[in-house]
């Protein structure tokens, strides 16, 4: 199962998820100018980031919007990036946040779990209802794919909907979590986690312990670290003995070279150093909590 592979990667490599939110302006100009096409430059940038971080990253999460913004060429880069991760035996999470129903959802599931854009897991938005999740489940069952469903996000606007309280006193995100957990019970791996995981931002620490205890079989994809204000101490609250979740960093890793004067062409080595730094910070908190 994909969730067992991910759990074991975290045990071996640490919990860092490298977010490949590759905007053209993130790429050093000197590196861009080495290539005759923008497509080749963006892909080679991704490739060097992946190569440099592969032994210290549990997985990679390309955000499809950055590639869609470049048109057909960008989607070619997205495809080639996913294929490259797969060729190395790595794990890819397509950050697509789809959230539609019926036949449309079936087509999204087919598009991202087979063919040109095939990845190991995808992110989904459940706020149209749980029937927006159902078309993906056959791939989880028969193709060993995984889902990370938006539960409680780290953006300020999360309060607009996710924090509304129902007649039962539960917030919307808690009700969504209960429903995700119910679906996920049929897909539990050997390490006790379901292939139906959840996206849980790490910037709301007051709810962390409650979420981790309540959704004990749910593997978390944890954004919000670094650029959005989340710390290693915050992240540790959402994990269990350093596992049970992956910690995404995108700009912090891709743009790490900007912290060092004159190292633009060593962006891959700087990315590696940042990934290792994040891992060390989280490991230090883990050891303190043992």
Distance separating alpha carbons of residues 278 and 290, to the nearest angstrom: 19
Fold of 2-155+183-289: TIM Barrel (3.20.20)
Structure tokens at 84: 């490259």
Q: How many residues does the chain have?
A: 290
Question: Residue 97 catalytic?
Answer: yes
The Cα 46–Cα 180 span in angstroms is 32
Task: Sort 72 into a burial class: Cβ within 10 Å, 0-12 / 13-18 / 19+.
Answer: exposed
So what's the pLDDT on residue 231?
82
Q: Which pLDDT belongs to residue 156?
A: 82
pLDDT by residue, tens only, the chain of 290 residues: 999 999 999 999 999 999 999 999 999 999 999 999 999 999 999 999 999 999 999 999 999 999 999 999 999 999 999 999 999 999 999 999 999 999 999 999 999 999 999 999 999 999 999 999 999 999 999 999 999 999 988 788 888 989 899 888 889 999 999 999 999 999 999 999 999 999 998 877 778 888 999 999 999 999 978 766 678 888 888 999 889 999 999 999 999 999 998 899 999 999 999 999 999 999 888 656 54
Do 245 and 221 meet the contact criterion of CB atoms below 8 Å apart? yes
Tell me the CA end-to-end span of the chain in Å, nearest whole number: 28
pLDDT at 33: 95
Identify the pLDDT of residue 288.
60
For the whole model, what pTM was predicted?
A: 0.95
Which residue among 48, 86, 97, 179 is the active-site one?
97
pLDDT of residue 202: 82
Contacts of 128 (CB under 8 A, 6+ apart): 99, 100, 101
pLDDT of residue 228: 65
Facing residues of 94 across strands? 122
């Amino acid at each position: 199962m994909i969730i067992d592979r991910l759990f074991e990667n975290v045990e071996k490599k640490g919990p860092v998820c490298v977010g490949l939110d590759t905007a053209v302006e993130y790429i050093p100009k000197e590196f861009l100018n080495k290539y005759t096409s923008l497509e080749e430059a963006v892909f080679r940038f991704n490739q060097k980031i992946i190569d440099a971080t592969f032994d210290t990253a549990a997985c990679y999460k390309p955000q499809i919007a950055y590639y869609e913004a470049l048109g057909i060429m960008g989607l070619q880069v997205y495809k080639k990036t996913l294929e490259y991760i797969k060729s190395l035996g790595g794990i890819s999470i397509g950050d697509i946040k789809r959230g539609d129903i019926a036949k449309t959802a079936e087509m999204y599931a087919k598009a991202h779990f087979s063919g040109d854009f095939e990845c190991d897991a995808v992110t989904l938005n459940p706020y149209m209802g749980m029937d927006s999740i159902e078309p993906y489940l056959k791939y989880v069952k028969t193709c060993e794919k995984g889902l990370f469903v938006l539960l409680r996000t780290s953006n300020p606007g999360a309060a607009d909907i996710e924090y509304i309280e129902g007649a039962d006193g539960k917030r919307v995100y808690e009700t969504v979590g209960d429903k995700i957990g119910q679906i996920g019970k049929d897909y539990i791996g050997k390490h006790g986690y379901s292939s139906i995981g959840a996206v849980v931002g790490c910037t709301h620490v007051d709810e962390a312990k409650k979420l981790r205890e309540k959704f004990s079989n749910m593997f978390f994809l944890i954004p919000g670290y670094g650029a959005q204000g989340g710390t290693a101490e915050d992240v540790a609250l959402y994990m269990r003995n350093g596992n049970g979740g992956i910690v995404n960093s995108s700009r912090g890793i891709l743009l790490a070279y900007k912290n060092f004067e004159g190292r633009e062409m060593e962006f891959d080595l700087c990315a590696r150093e940042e990934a290792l730094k994040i891992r060390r910070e989280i490991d230090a908190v883990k050891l303190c909590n043992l």
